[in-house]
């Protein structure tokens, strides 16, 4: 048997861009990083590949500025994926206003299987 890789898959680098694995995101969520905690309804929508509305964000840790990347966690402190902040998180959200664009989530693997 010839092994090409051994260990934990942490992601890949393509054309000077890093594409993290979900395992790496889970590790990063345990340390101090930019992260948001969302309610149960938003957590399900994130898993389904949807963006996050501002009123569904329960708590923010780290940067709140537009353009930054942020980890998305549920209320059980489980990492669901990550996204890009498209409106400053310290701004009061309007009804159904998207604040975080979903870039990668744990449901991605299942959606690719079909």
Mean pLDDT for each 10-residue chunk of the chain (114 residues)? 76 88 91 94 96 95 93 96 93 88 90 72
**Residue pair 89/60 in contact by the 8 Å Cβ criterion:** yes
SS3 content of the chain, % helix, strand, coil (to 5): 20, 35, 45
- Of 94, 82, 5, 4, the C-alpha closest to 36 is 82
List Cβ neighbours of 90 (8 Å cut-off, separation of 6 or more).
60, 64
pLDDT in tens, 76-92: 999 999 999 999 988 88
Task: Enter the pTM of the model.
Answer: 0.86
What are the residue boundaries of the structural domains of the chain, listed by start? Answer: 11-113
> Is 11-113 assigned to CATH 2.30.130.10?
yes
């Amino acid at each position: 048997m010839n092994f090409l890789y051994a260990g934990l898959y942490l992601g890949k680098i393509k054309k000077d861009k890093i594409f993290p694995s979900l395992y790496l995101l889970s590790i990063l969520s345990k340390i101090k990083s930019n992260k948001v905690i969302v309610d149960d309804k938003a957590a399900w929508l994130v898993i389904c590949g949807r963006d996050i509305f501002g009123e569904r964000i329960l708590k923010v840790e780290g940067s709140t500025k537009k353009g930054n990347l942020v980890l998305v966690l549920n209320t059980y402190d489980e990492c669901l994926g990550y996204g890009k902040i498209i409106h400053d998180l310290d701004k009061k959200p309007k009804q159904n206003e998207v604040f975080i664009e979903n870039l990668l989530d744990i449901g991605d693997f299942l959606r690719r299987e079909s």
